Copies of this chain bind each other. A is one copy, B any other.
C-alpha cells in the first residue's frame, strides 16, 4: 500500500484541486502529482478518470493552472490525474548542459536502459502501472482515458496503443508522433535507450500503428495548431495521420489555423477533448 501525502487542496469549480506526494518504487524517488476531484466525487460510487501527460519542461502544475479543464471536468464528473514529466529530486540525473529536452522535465514516457538514466527514468512503467495502482487505491475509479500535449501526446498515444482495453479513448494536442525520426525524439531516445533503434520503435506511435503492434480500434482525437513553431521541425501530428490513412485506422484530426504550441491552444480546445472522452468513458 503506497503512502500518499496530500500537499495541498484548493477548491475549484465546486470540486477540489489536490497535490499528492509519494515514494515511487518504479522511479526510485519521491514524486508529486495533481488530481482534480469534481464535485460528484463526494457523492458517487465511482468516477471515470482522465490521465493528462504534459509536455517538455512541465510539472504537474502547468496543466492544472492553465488549461481550464476543471470547469468541464466538474460538469462531466471526470477525475483528472496529472503526473509529473520525469523523475525528480536529489540524486536524479539531469542533462549535463541543463537542456530542456533531456533529463528533468523530459522523461519522454520511456523505460530507460542506458546509464545514467536507467535507475530513475522509468516513466513508461510509472504511468502504465504504478500511478494507476496508486490512483485506484486512493479513489473509486470506473474507466480511464488518456490525453496529453506534445511529448505528453506521444506518451498518451504510446500508452494507449500498447495497452489495449486499458483506456477507453486517447487524445492529444500537437503530439510528437514519430519520435524515432524527429530531433527531440532522437536526442532523448539515444540517451535513454541507446543506439539500437529497434528498441526505439516500441515508443513510436507511427511505428506501432503501421506494424499493427497496437490497439487500432481505440477512439483517437488529435488537434494541431497550424502556427505551431514545432509542427514542421518536430514532425508533429501529420506523420500519424498518414499512417492512419494507409492502415485504415479511424482517427479525428483537427488542424487549426493561427494556433501555436502553447497552453492558450490547449485551453481553447480542452473542452472538446473532455467531451470526446466523456462519451467513451460513460459508454
Contact = CB atoms under 8 A, between A and B. Distances in A.
A265 B227 CA distance: 32
B65 A268 contact: no
Given A71-B267, A267-B70, A260 B11 contact: yes
Q: Looking at A11, A68, A263, A268, which has the most chain B CB atoms within 10 Å of its CB?
A: A11
A268 B13 contact: yes
Interface in A238-257: 256
A17 to B, nearest CB: 6
Interface in A170-202: none
Nearest to A271: B71
B17 A264 contact: yes
A70 B265 CA distance: 12
B267 A12 contact: yes
A11 B66 contact: no
A262 B17 CA distance: 12
A94 interface: no
**Binding site secondary structure of chain A:** mixed
Nearest to A65: B66
A12 B65 CA distance: 16
A67 to B, nearest CB: 9
A174 to B, nearest CB: 13
Interface string A13-28: 1100100000000000
A68 B65 contact: no
Contact of A65 (B13, B227, B258, B263): B263
Given A65-B66, A66-B66, A262 B10 contact: yes
Nearest to A67: B68
Contact of A264 (B10, B227, B262, B264): B10
A225 interface: yes
Interface in A262-281: 262-265, 267-268
A262 B19 CA distance: 15
A273 to B, nearest CB: 14
A237 B230 CA distance: 46
7 contacts: A10-B264, A11-B256, A11-B265, A12-B267, A68-B68, A68-B71, A70-B264
